[in-house]
Amino acid sequence: MPGTAAELLKKTRSELAPDPSANPLVPLVAGGRASLETLAVLALEQHRVIPADRRAFLHLAQRATEEPAAAGFFTALAEGEELAAARLGAFTEACEVDDERMRAYEPLPGCQAYPAYLSWLALNAAPADAVLAVTANFATWGTYCASIARGLRTHYGFTDEACAFFDFFAAPAPALEQQAEAAVRAGLESGRLDEKRVYTYGRLLQAYEQMFWTALS
């Protein structure tokens, strides 16, 4: 196992990073080749994902009674999901999705596998393990969001407000990175963190992330 929390974070991200060419949808949005209908479905699915992820992070924070660094990390993630939710409406409106369609929409199983597994982690994973697995996945998600935001502005004429949801996740978050490193360090020092379990959790999270984009495409 790497000697420091920073080294372990770097190693895990590197080992779990997906093939850049594996995502079938993000390049289409980045190049302006995805339909407005596909973007609308992306918005509708995110309206289900964001609140589910927020509750999962809050539950992880509540379970981390003996790991204050991990509790702080997951609390910050939950607060971030709340901020993201406030930005999602403008993207949804730009995709011409109204309240009636929102109420009638039936989510895609492939898109909801990721939040379902995150909920499983919230119930079953050691918080220190979940910190590392989630952090590795967030690096991938942030990259995707940056590409989507550029594509929406360049090819679809979306405003800054309509792109704010993706800008939020694409922006660097040094404070969150510091919290993640502190939580991993505490997990290493306490012996609660298991690198083998982390790799399994992270691999599955990345697979379900891939399933999300494949279902949309």
Exposed/middle/buried for residue 97 (C-beta within 10 Å: 0-12, 13-18, 19+): buried
What are the domain boundaries of the chain?
Answer: 5-11+23-216
- pLDDT over 70 percentage in the chain: 99
Q: What is the pLDDT of residues 23-51, one digit of tens each?
A: 999 999 999 999 999 999 999 999 999 99
3-state helix vs strand vs coil in the chain, percent to 5:
80, 0, 20
Supply φ then ψ for residue 31, to 5 degrees.
-100, 5
pLDDT of 21 over the 50 cut: yes
Mean pLDDT of 174-192: 93
The alpha carbon dihedral of 20, 26, 28, 31 has a sign of negative
Residue 19 carries which DSSP code?
P
Given pLDDT bands bounded at 50, 70 and 90, which one contains residue 1?
Answer: very low
| Three-state secondary structure call for residue 97 | coil
Cα 163 from Cα 186, distance rounded (Å): 36
Supply the pTM of this predicted model: 0.94
CA gap 89, 97 in Å, rounded: 9
What average pLDDT does range 160-186 have in this prediction?
95
Domain 5-11+23-216: which topology? Heme Oxygenase; Chain A (1.20.910)
For residue range 92-120, list pLDDT tens digits in order. 999 999 999 999 999 999 999 999 999 99
The pLDDT, as a whole number, for residue 139 is 85
